A and B are shown apart, each in its own frame.
Chain A
Amino acid sequence: MNINKVLVIGAGTMGSGIAWWFSSLGIQVHLQDESQEQLEKAKKYCEEQTYRWATKNKLDQRITQDLLQLVKFIKKSEWDHDYDLVIEAIIENLEIKKNLFKELDEVMDKKTVIASNTSSFPIALLSQDLSPERKVNFLGLHFFNPAPVMKLVEVISSKDSSQKLANDLYAWFEEKGKFPAHCKDSPGFIVNRVARNFYGEPLRIAAEDDEKKFKEIDQVLKEVGGFRMGPFELMDLIGIDVNYSVTCSVWNAYNQEPRFAPHPLQEKLVNEKRLGRKSKRGFYQYE
């Protein structure tokens, strides 16, 4: 499989990280966003990443020199039509995403592979209004934050996706140093489904709003379990509202299966605007 030219749509944290990672392989990347401010931020991010990785000698010397020329920060009006791969990394809004994919279907070459970095929507739902030829060339590529560092890419095939395409992309990512995982189109895919209990079970062990217990549980899971962060400090970092929303989304997608049920403490903290580090108060208090 050859990937020589990539369009990443959405210059937020994920989009910028994905774009920079592709460029670090020497691949030409267009990073598109309609917000000039977002594009400026993305440019700064890419410059910082290049400097950071180059100083650690983690980049090919030849690529380092050209790297900043490899990423072009563009508006939609500057789209080309001959990308090998387009990755969507915009806001998690079904209608906005579906409209974008319809537009891409119309303007991109038929050979262009279109992928979504969604963490919550079924891939088949995102592609349902596309042409039959495009549906075959459409799949999920779920990166993890920060994209240049985290090795996993979930390669998600819908019922319409070409299995050969999924296999080729799996092999391509593996060759480029990522650790891909094949995944069927299902709510939460692998990680957001299996990891739910890393939060749900400690919440049930704590059972009440007790910072001493949160601290003890975090400490035990780090020391005994070997996890890098405890669940309460991690929920505070992610945002309790964000984590609660993902929990509810997976729970509802699985017809309110009890294994995914949110804990009342999550809703309580969200209602009290205790959202974690960003509001200086979550499970823990921050100065």
Chain B
Amino acid sequence: MNNIYLDDVIINFGFGTKEEKKNFLREHASKSIYMDLTCYDPKEFYEEFPQLKGIFSALFADEAKRIEIHFREENPLVLNHLKELGYHPIQVSFTSCGFIFPRTISQIINEAYFALEDGIATKEDINRAMKFGVNYPKGPFEWSEGKELYIKTLLEELHTLTKDNRYIPNKALL
């Protein structure tokens, strides 16, 4: 994790375990925290930590650096700072574990891994099929490159939260 300190505001970036994220919030109880919370349940964090004023999903950002951001307390300073760092934050009005894009794409990628495991097609053919059959901007394995840990963590969190076996990550992500 890495942080940007702006007087009483801290913007927390990067991946951490749930406990690491919670410990960070505990250690900074007197500050206003805006945190990358792509992989964990925002409801749990908002309820437990009043100092958490907003959350965003930079872990899944690609070269276009478009991210989702949700404010419990809107702060233009945070928005400007993210923009200065090259991000394009898109404000969302409701929270969902994994936001909208990371959660949807994680499930698409997970299914691509299951299809690969079943020997349906090669990685290259699965990427090609999704790009040229339904116009996805990237193939699932192109999207997942370097993000396997985040995808696995998010799916495990969704599985714990919903008890729905649809979120069990494919073993290749482990």
Contacts and interface: CB of A to CB of B under 8 A. Distances in A.
Interface of A: 144, 150-152, 154, 179, 181-184, 186, 189-191, 193-198, 200-202, 205, 212-213, 216-217, 219-221, 223-228, 231, 258-259, 261
B112 A201 contact: no
Contact of B140 (A150, A194, A227): A194
B133 A227 contact: no
A225 B90 CA distance: 12
Given A151-B132, A191-B133, A224-B68, A186 B94 contact: no
Contact of A224 (B66, B96, B110): B66
B130 A190 contact: yes
Interface string B126-147: 1011111111111010000000
B7 interface: no
Given A189-B120, A194-B111, A224-B68, A179 B128 contact: yes
B100 A221 contact: yes
Nearest to B118: A186
A200 B167 CA distance: 12
B132 A216 contact: no
Nearest to B137: A226
Given A194-B115, A194-B140, A223-B90, 4 more contacts: A144-B132, A150-B133, A197-B107, A225-B101
A217 B118 CA distance: 31
Contacts of B121: 181-184, 190
Contacts of B133: 144, 150, 152, 154, 181, 190-191
Interface string B47-58: 000000000000
B173 interface: no
A84 B164 CA distance: 49
Q: What are the 10 tightest A-B residue pairs by CB atom distance, in nearest-first order?
A: A152-B133, A226-B137, A197-B107, A181-B125, A152-B132, A151-B132, A258-B166, A190-B129, A191-B133, A181-B129
Contacts of A261: 166
- Of A144, A150, A181, A189, most buried by chain B (CB within 10 Å of CB) is A181
Contacts of B114: 259
A201 B107 contact: yes
A181 B132 CA distance: 10
Given A184-B119, A189-B120, A213-B94, A195 B126 contact: no
Contacts of A184: 118-121
- Of A144, A151, A152, A184, most buried by chain B (CB within 10 Å of CB) is A152
A181 B105 contact: no
A200 B133 CA distance: 18
Contact of A191 (B67, B134, B166): B134
A261 B137 CA distance: 25
Nearest to B62: A226
B111 A152 contact: no
A228 B135 contact: yes
Given A186-B118, A220-B92, A259-B111, A225 B137 contact: yes
A198 B107 CA distance: 8
